Amino acid sequence: MSGPRPAFVVGAGLTPFGDRAPRTTLDLMADAAEAALADAHLSRGDVDGLLVGYSTTFPHLMLSTAFAEHFGLAPRYGHGIQLGGATGLAMVAAARHLVAAGASDTVLVVAGENRRTGASVDTVLSTLAQVGDPVHEVPNGANVPAYYALLAARYLHDHGLSERDLAGLAVLMRAHAARYPGAHFHEPVTVADVMASRPIATPLKRLDCCPISDGAAAIVVSAEPAAVPVRIAGTGQGHTHQSLSHAPDDVARGARLSAASAFEEAGVTSDDVGLAGVYDSFTVTLAMLLEATGLSRAGRAPVDVSDGRYAADGRVPLNLHGGLLGYGHPGVAGGMAHAVEVFRQMAGRSPLGSLAPADVALIHADGGVLSSHVSVVLKRDP
């Protein structure tokens, strides 16, 4: 055959998220990697490519090699990747490119971190704040919730929406998490609960914000399809700025560019998507990304949520594992968990059963402050 080789997701592993002490970064990565290889019916010796995401609690110079030694791998290709919340999907896309180019046959993508129990909340806030401008933004006392609060204030202002509208997105994620084994949060919440939760940075309240979790995720990408072929049909990226001060007027333009590239390569449109995993670090992140990727119209994500479009039995089931807001957020693995559950649904391997038997799915994540975006379109081939 001519052209690049197709690449398939053939296995996934996801640890429970939450308080996982005394598990370390490497412990958690090993747990997820072992589960993913078992899911793919592969052994360590089958892995010839290794991509790992960073860990803020274990900032190693050579994390891929450190993990290979720890877990017992000798890959022909390996390195780490750093792209904030978009790291996981950047690794999945890169794994696809490696397989397509013939550089690897079987790539293990893995990330984990004990961010909840391995660091204080103040340390995490200070570390993550550095995605902003260290000279012109951070000295103002700003942090990641504050950056997204500024986005949220503008989003609500532009679309004539209220905090209550955003609250519905948290309610949906917590409802999904309540049914998913291993989620950080098992209790559903109501709009009233979200509205009554303590302010973090107005208009965002505690339940508009994801938790800080421990956890890990792993995905195996291979040239050989599994029994149900789930192919990486398209990938895209967009990088418009690093700090919010330098964002374009159309602040989510990177997501538009990224999704458009992935859809074009896959030969589909947003209308074809029957299942989605979209990054949801905050309720406003999810709303803006649903709209920028074309799954909802501008300013319509909250009403689409309340109309049931993104429910498990809706037109586009979304983040069925509960997303970052419900399943939890240990860093890179948090952004990979969306991909894990999308793959599981398409492959018929979800602990929920096959709720969303879609043939086309979109996964999207952003890093920074809507700074860097990666989109992946998965197709289940007949």
Partner 1 sequence: MNTTPPPTTGGIPEPGKLTITTCRTCGLSSQLTRGFCPGCGGRDLVRDGVAATGTVVAATVVHRAAGEGPLGPPPFALVLVALDRPFANRLMAVAPRPLAIGTPVHVGPLGAAAAAPYLAIPEPDGDPAPSAS
Query: Contact between 365 and partner 1 (CB under 8 A)?
Result: no
Task: Return the range that interacts with partner 1 (CB under 8 A); candidates 84-92, 104-112, 117-125, 304-312.
Answer: 117-125
- In whole angstroms, the minimum distance from the beta carbon of 370 to partner 1 comes to 13
**Which SS3 state, helix, strand or coil, does residue 185 take?**
coil
Residue with Cβ nearer partner 1 (247 or 275):
247
- In whole angstroms, the minimum distance from the beta carbon of 318 to partner 1 comes to 25
Residues 123 to 182: which contact partner 1 by CB under 8 A?
Answer: 123, 125-126, 129, 132-137, 139-143, 145-146, 149-154, 156-157, 160-162
**Which SS3 state, helix, strand or coil, does residue 182 take?**
coil
Query: Contact between 201 and partner 1 (CB under 8 A)?
Result: yes
Count of residues that bind partner 1 according to CB under 8 A = 40
- In whole angstroms, the minimum distance from the beta carbon of 206 to partner 1 comes to 9
The count of C-alpha atoms lying within 13 angstroms of the C-alpha of 219, restricted to the half-sphere facing its C-beta, is 32
Task: Return the range that interacts with partner 1 (CB under 8 A); candidates 193-201, 285-293, 326-334, 345-353.
Answer: 193-201
- In whole angstroms, the minimum distance from the beta carbon of 112 to partner 1 comes to 24
- In whole angstroms, the minimum distance from the beta carbon of 245 to partner 1 comes to 5
Residues 270 to 309: which contact partner 1 by CB under 8 A?
Answer: none
Query: Contact between 109 and partner 1 (CB under 8 A)?
Result: no
Residue with Cβ nearer partner 1 (223 or 303):
303
The string of DSSP letters for 145-165 reads HHHHHHHHHHHHHHHT--HHH
Residues 205 to 244: which contact partner 1 by CB under 8 A?
Answer: 244
| Structure-block tokens of residue 112 | 């984990």
Using CA atoms, how far residue 65 sits from 57, 60, 79, 80, 127, in Å, is 17, 10, 7, 9, 24
Q: What is the edge-to-edge ordering of all strands in the sheet holding 372-380?
A: 77-81, 49-53, 106-114, 214-222, 8-14, 230-239, 372-380, 360-367, 275-278
Burial tier of 208 (Cβ tally within 10 Å: 0-12, 13-18, 19+): buried
Name which position in 245, 272, 299, 303 contacts partner 1 (CB under 8 A): 245
**Which SS3 state, helix, strand or coil, does residue 367 take?**
strand
Provide, for the chain, the percentages of residues in helix, strand and coil under a 3-state DSSP scheme, each rounded to the nearest 5.
40, 20, 40
Helix 163-178 vs helix 144-159: crossing angle, to nearest 10: 120
Chain residues binding partner 1 by CB under 8 A are: 122-123, 125-126, 129, 132-137, 139-143, 145-146, 149-154, 156-157, 160-162, 198-204, 244-247
